[in-house]
Structure 1
Amino acid sequence: MFEKCQEVSQWMAAFEGKWFIAGGWAIDLHIGEETRQHQDIEVAIFREDQSLLKETMSGWRVHVIENKQLRDWDQLEQLEMPVHEIHAKTDVQELEILLNERGGDRWVYRREPEITFPISHMNLHSEQGFPYLNPEIVLLYKAKETRQRDEQDFEKIFPRLNEQQKEWLKQGLIQCHPNHPWLEKLLL
């Protein structure tokens, strides 16, 4: 179980910054079991740590997504907003890295900088020891363009969210997606 997360943990072992498994894998790590097939695996890091990432990904083919196009990442280039997605590949490995913003001791939602989260509370680890992004943050990202797998993730994780997590997600959705269908459950 969680073999892909184990691989990522090995790949990221040399990374000296803070990192978290993100996306659907983060949801499954919080639940404690693989609940569905995953197409890829994402890792979240802070934008300020991208130079550390370049060192860690030495030997990988590294590209960024800019204006929905894949392009090479010049190793001297510092990626700025709105660029936030990096793809790294070897012949047998592939990883998507998502740059996250921070302001002081708070994580900052790149789509709405008024939405923040204390970094000190972003220390979630699975039973296997894998760091993962808080599920309420993952769900806020998934809410923008909700797909079937995102609905599945929400349904699986919702009963496992505590009241504080539900409240944070509810406030984020009200601010960013006030008509989102997940609010029906969160407003009960």
Structure 2
Amino acid sequence: MSADDVLGRWVPDCPEDIAVVLAKAGFPWWIAGGYAIELAVGRELRPHGDLDVLVLRRDQALVRDLLADWDLFVADPPGLGRLRPWPSGEALQLPLHDIWCRRTPEAPWSVQLMLDEAEGTEWISRRAPQIRLPIERVGRTSATGIPYLAPEVQLFYKAKATREKDESDFDAVLPLLDMSQREWLAEALRAIAPDHSWRQRLQQVS
């Protein structure tokens, strides 16, 4: 039985759709996942099963208010295929970080909202708190004005258990990473997976 059979089907928004919804957000947000890689390379790479959007946990009440008319469910506990409603006013604490969003209860799921950590002006990876960046370096902006997760940060998240599509995303964006991006990703991978195959490839790029 597929996840769609249990939890409902997905018809993901495109980044332009959610950018309209979040246009008045007074907090940082970024397109994440495979779409972030596509925004970085400037072309479509493959079909997508969902649309990920990353926000900082400290801004969750603000994004909850922006999506007040949506049907929002949190994966609780994460990773086990269980969802429960996310009521207005509930502050989600770790390990909860994954929110499924659809416009109405009858609509398909269209956005997956991900919460990440921050302290002051620093972003903190929820998977490895020692991995940090100034928040201003976490994202980029596309030519059409859409915020997206910096490719080195997105690849860090994809590196945990790489699938064929993650390897394809790495291949597509690797030539575009500058020296500082490659060094940051190589060092971040060293902290969580020192033998990861991507580390050698990052060091081989001239």
Normalising by the residue count of structure 2, what TM-score does the alignment of the two structures yield? 0.86
RMSD: 1.4
Taking the aligned partners of 1:104 and 1:111, their CA distance within structure 2 comes to 18
Taking the aligned partners of 1:74 and 1:162, their CA distance within structure 2 comes to 42
Determine if the alignment matches structure 1 residue 175 to structure 2 residue 201: no
Taking the aligned partners of 1:52 and 1:36, their CA distance within structure 2 comes to 32
Q: Who is 1:145 aligned against? A: 161
Tell me the CA shift for residue 101 of structure 1: 0.6
* Distance change in 2, residues 1:112/1:92 (3 Å): closer
* Distance change in 2, residues 1:128/1:28 (3 Å): same
Determine if the alignment matches structure 1 residue 135 to structure 2 residue 188: no
3-state SS in 2 of match to 1:64 = strand
Taking the aligned partners of 2:14 and 2:170, their CA distance within structure 1 comes to 21
Determine if the alignment matches structure 1 residue 43 to structure 2 residue 53: yes
% identical equivalent positions: 37
Taking the aligned partners of 1:6 and 1:93, their CA distance within structure 2 comes to 16
Query: Which residue among 87, 90, 94 is the counterpart of 1:77?
Result: 90
Tell me the CA shift for residue 17 of structure 1: 1.5
Determine if the alignment matches structure 1 residue 103 to structure 2 residue 119: yes
3-state SS in 2 of match to 1:33 = coil
Q: Which amino acid aligns with 1:95?
A: V
Gaps of 5+ in 2: 1-12
Q: Which amino acid aligns with 2:94?
A: M
Q: Who is 1:88 aligned against? A: 101
Taking the aligned partners of 1:31 and 1:158, their CA distance within structure 2 comes to 10
* Distance change in 2, residues 1:117/1:53 (3 Å): same
Per-residue CA deviations over 1:1-53 (Å, capped at 9, x if unaligned) read: xx811101012124321110001111110111111111111111010111111
Normalising by the residue count of structure 1, what TM-score does the alignment of the two structures yield? 0.94
Query: Which residue among 43, 46, 53 is the counterpart of 2:63?
Result: 53
